[in-house]
Structure 1
Amino acid sequence: MVTMKEIAHRTGVSVSTVSLVMNHRDEGRVKPAIAAHVREVADELGYQVNPMASSLRTNRTRTIGFISEEVATTPYAGGMILGAQTAASKLGYLLITVSTDGGMDEDDEIDALKRYGADGFLYAKMSNRVTDVPARLKDCPVVLVDATGRDGTTPSIEPDEFRIAYDATTRLVEAGCERIAYIGCSEPMLAQEGRLAGYRTALEAAGRKFNERLVVDVLNNGPALEAVSDLFDWERPDGFFCFNDARAWYVYECAARRGLVIGRDVSVVGVDNHRVFAETLSPRLTTVELPHFEMGYWAAAKVVSMIEKRPLDDLDVPDTRAPLPPLDAPVPAKVHCTLIEKESVRAAG
C-alpha cells in the first residue's frame, strides 16, 4: 500500500503537506501548483485514502446515505444509484442505499444510517414532486434527488420539465406537423405542469395557437386508450407529444387501427427512453431521456461539497448524455434533458 511518506519523498514536500492535499484541506495553505503535483504523483502511485484512519482524523466516515422511496423498485433505480455511486467513489466516499418501500419505516432507516455515521444524505423520489425533508435530516447535509423541497432552500436536482416539452414540441413543429396534440397526465404533478407549459410555449413560439381540444390528460388504463382514440377521430392530429413513453403506446395502437404509419402519417415523441418501450415499439420511439444518472451524480457531488465545505473545482466530471448543471446552480438545479432521435418522427421539413 502506498503511503503519504512515499508521496512526500517523490514530491520533495513534507508528509503534513501531502496530508493537507489528500484530505482536501490545502486551499490557502499549499500553493496550487504544489498541490496539483502531489495529486498527480499520488495518482501515478495508486494512492488510496485509508477510510479508517481518515475518519479518526476528520471525525467523518466518508459515507453517504441514499434514501429512496419508489426508486429502488423502478426501472430507473439503476441509473440514479449508479450516478450517485460513481461520484461518491471518485470523491472517496462509500454510498449506502436504503429503501422505504415495502413497509420499511423511513425514520428507522435514517436512524440506522446515522448510527453508521453517514456524513450526508441523498433523499430520492420518483416522478419529480414537491416534498418535505424528513425531520431527522434537518440538521444534516442533504440533497433532494428528482424532487423539490417545500421549503425552497434545500439543494435539489430535477429534470427541466419545461424544456422537455419545449424541445419535443419544437421537434414536431420542425417535422412539419400542423396539429400537434399533447397526451398528458391527469394526476397533479410537477412534471405535468411543466410539460404542459413547455408544449404551449413551443406552439406559441412557432406562431401556433394553443388549442385545448388537442390536449388529453389520461392515466395508464383502458379509458386512456378510449380518450386517445376519440382524439384521433375528432381532431385528427398529425403530431403527438406524450407525457411518457407508456402513453405513446396508445398513439401507436390507435394509429395501427386506422391504417396510419407512425413516422410517416403521424409523428410521436415520448419521454423516458424507457427500455421496455424502446425495445418493443416499432418503429422505434423518438423520446426525451430522463437524466437519472446525471441527477444521481450531481446530487452526490453536491452533498460532498456541503460536507467538505468546498466547491469541488477539482472534480473530474464525466461525459454524460445530458450536461450537468454547476454545483452552485439556483435551487432547484435543473437538467436540460436530451432528445433521442429514433424513427417515430418524420424527417424535418
Structure 2
Amino acid sequence: MKQIAQRVGVSVSTVSLVLNGRDGGRVKPRIAQRVREAADEMGYQPNALARSLRTSRTNIVGFISVEVATTPYAGGMIQGAQDALSALGYVLLTVNGDDAQAIDDEVGALRRYGVDGFLYSAMSNRVVDVPKSLRRFPLVLVDATDAEGRLASIEPDETRIGYDATTRLIEAGCRRIAYIGCTEPMVAQDGRLEGYRQALIDHGIDVDERLRRDVLNNGPALRAVEELFDSERPDGFFCFNDARAWYVYEAAARRGLRIGDDISVVGVDNHRVFAETLEPQLTTIELPHYEMGYWAANRLVADIEGRAINEAAWPRTTAVMPLLDTPSPAKVHCTLIEKASVHAAR
C-alpha cells in the first residue's frame, strides 16, 4: 500500500479506503480510479490472513448442496456463486450431502474452517427444512424456500414459466395446447401448471383437462403421450421439461407429423443434451441457475458485511436478476430461448 501511495501521490489511508471498498463519498472518483489502476499494474494482492484478523472474518463461504452437485445444473449455480464471491473478495467451499446426518457432518467441517456464512441448495426448486446447525449463521437458500418462509431465498418464477411457454404457443396459432407434466409433487409442477392454465384463460381459450398428461419416464410416459396424440390431437405442447419433450418428438415422428410445422413444442431447462440432440432444435425456457447462484452470493455478502452491494456492476445475464432487497422468495423471470420447434408467431 505504501508503494501504491507513493506512485499515485496520496496517503496510505486513502489507498486503504479504496482497496477495501470504502472510498465512496470519501475519495474523489478520479483518484480512486488511479489507485486501482496502480494496484493492478503492481500486482497488489491483499493479505487474507491479516484481513481476517482485523475484521474477524475469514472471507470464506460454504455451499451446502443437497443432491445438486451430481446434476447437470450444479455447474451453473456454483459458477454464478463463485464469480460473485471472487469479485467480492471471498472464497467458496462446496460440499454435498444426501441426508440429514451427512449435511450436519459437512456443516461441522465447514464451521471448523471458520466460514462466514452459507449458501444452501436442494435438487430442483422445493420447500426445505433447513438444518438447525445452519440457522445461527448468515444463510441464503438457492433454488429453494424454507418451510417457515423466514430466510432469504431465490427461485425461478415457475408460474411465469408456464405462462410464457403457453403464450408463445398461442402466438403461434395453437388452440389445442397440451400440458405434459410431472407426476411427482413439486413446486415447479404446481407453478408451471398454474401458469399454463392462466395463459389459456387470459387468451380466451377454455382449459380442457383432457389435454393434460402427467408422466414420469420411459415406456409408460411415451405411451401416455401417444394416447394423447390419438385421442385429443393437440396442435401445441408445453412440456414440464426438455426430457418430456422427447416423448412428443418420438410420438410425432411415429405419426409422420413435423415438429415446428404440424405441431409446436416448448420445453423447460435448455438442457444441453436435448438442445444438441433434438431436431428441429427445441424452443425452451432456460432455468436461471447461474443467476440464482450469483444473486444469492451477493445477498449473503451483503448480510455478512451489513452493507449495500453495487448491483450496477453485475454482469449481463440471460435472465434479469432481481434487486437484492426483493422480498423472499425472490423470483427470477426466466428467458424463453427461441429455436425451431414452434411456428412463427401469427
Q: Fold match, TM over 0.5?
A: yes
Is the counterpart of residue 122 in structure 1 residue 125 in structure 2? no
Aligned equivalents of 2:14, 2:101: Cα separation in 1: 46
Q: Which residue of 2 aligns with 1:334?
A: 331
Map residues 25-104 of structure 1 onto 2, 5 A cutoff: 25-26=22-23, 30-31=26-27, 33=29, 35=32, 38-39=35-36, 41-101=38-98
C-alpha distance in 1, partners of 2:51/2:291?
A: 28
Q: How does 1:185-200 map to 2 (within 5 A)?
A: 185-200=182-197
Counterpart of 1:149 in structure 2 is 146
Report the secondary structure of 1:148's partner residue: strand
Identity %: 69
Aligned residue for 1:176, secondary structure, equals coil
How far 1:211 moved relative to its partner? 1.2
- In the alignment, structure 1 residue 172 sits paired with structure 2 residue 169: yes
Question: Does residue 306 of structure 1 match 2:303?
Answer: yes
Q: 2:139, 2:212 → 1: CA distance? A: 38
Q: State the SS of the aligned residue for 2:313.
A: coil
Alignment check: 8 A CA contact 2:242 2:271 kept = yes
TM-score (norm 1): 0.94
Work out the CA distance in 2 between the residues paired with 1:328 and 1:183: 35
Q: 2 CA distance for matches of 1:332 and 1:314?
A: 18
Contact 2:63/2:118 (8 A) holds in 1: yes
Deviation digits for residues 239-259 of structure 1 (CA, Å, limit 9, x no counterpart) = 000000010011111111111
Say which is worse superposed, 41-50 or 204-213, in terms of deviation.
41-50
Aligned residue identity for 1:48: Q
C-alpha spacing 1:277/1:96, structure 2 compared with 1 (3 Å): same
Post-superposition CA distance 1:102-130 (Å, at most 9, x none)? 99711110011010011111101121000
Determine the C-alpha separation between the residues in 2 that align with 1:37 and 1:329: 35
Aligned to 2:103, which of 79, 103, 106? 106
Deviation at 1:295, TM superposition (A): 0.8
Secondary structure of the structure 2 residue equivalent to 1:105: helix
Maintained 8 Å contact 1:68/1:99: yes
1:208 is matched with 205
SS at match of 1:183: strand
Shift of 1:275: 1.0
Q: 1:35 to 1:305 in 2, by over 3 A?
A: farther
Aligned amino acid, residue 73 of structure 1: T
Check if 1:274 corresponds to 2:271: yes
Distance 2:42 2:324 in 1: 30
User: What is the deviation of 1:43?
Assistant: 4.2
* Structure 1 residue 21 displacement after superposition: 3.3
CA distance in structure 2 between the partners assigned to 1:273 and 1:148 by the alignment = 23
Q: Which residue of 1 aligns with 2:156?
A: 159
Which of 328, 333, 343 is 2:340 aligned to? Answer: 343
1:228 Cα shift?
Answer: 1.1
CA distance in 2, matches of 1:314, 1:178: 42
Q: Aligned-pair distance for 1:26?
A: 4.6
Q: Tell me whether 1:228 sits opposite 2:225 in the alignment.
A: yes
What is the TM-score when the length of structure 2 is the normalising length?
Answer: 0.94
Opposite residue 65 of structure 1, the aligned amino acid is G
Are 2:14 and 2:27, in contact at CA under 8 Å, matched by a contact in 1?
no
SS in 1 for 2:308: coil
CA offsets, 1:274-316, max 9 Å, x none?
Answer: 1111111111111001111111111111111111111112662
Instruction: Indicate conservation of the 8 Å contact 1:49/1:92, yes or no.
Output: no
Measured on the aligned residues, the alpha-carbon RMSD in Å equals 1.8
**Cα offset for 1:46?**
4.0
How big is the shift at 1:40?
Answer: 5.0
Cα displacement (A) at 1:35: 4.9
The answer to which of 274-283 and 263-272 deviates more is 274-283
Deviation of the 1:212 alpha carbon: 1.2
Query: Are the equivalent residues in 2 in contact too, given 1:122–1:145 (CA < 8 A)?
Result: yes
Counterpart of 1:52, as a letter, is L
Q: Which residues of structure 1 form unaligned runs of 5+?
A: none
- Distance in 1 between residues matched to 2:82 and 2:123, nearest whole Å: 18
Q: SS of the counterpart of 2:124?
A: strand
Distance across 2 between alignment mates of 1:43 and 1:146:
36
Aligned counterpart in structure 2 of residue 324 of structure 1, from 321, 335, 341: 321
Measured after TM superposition, the shift of residue 6 of structure 1 is 2.4
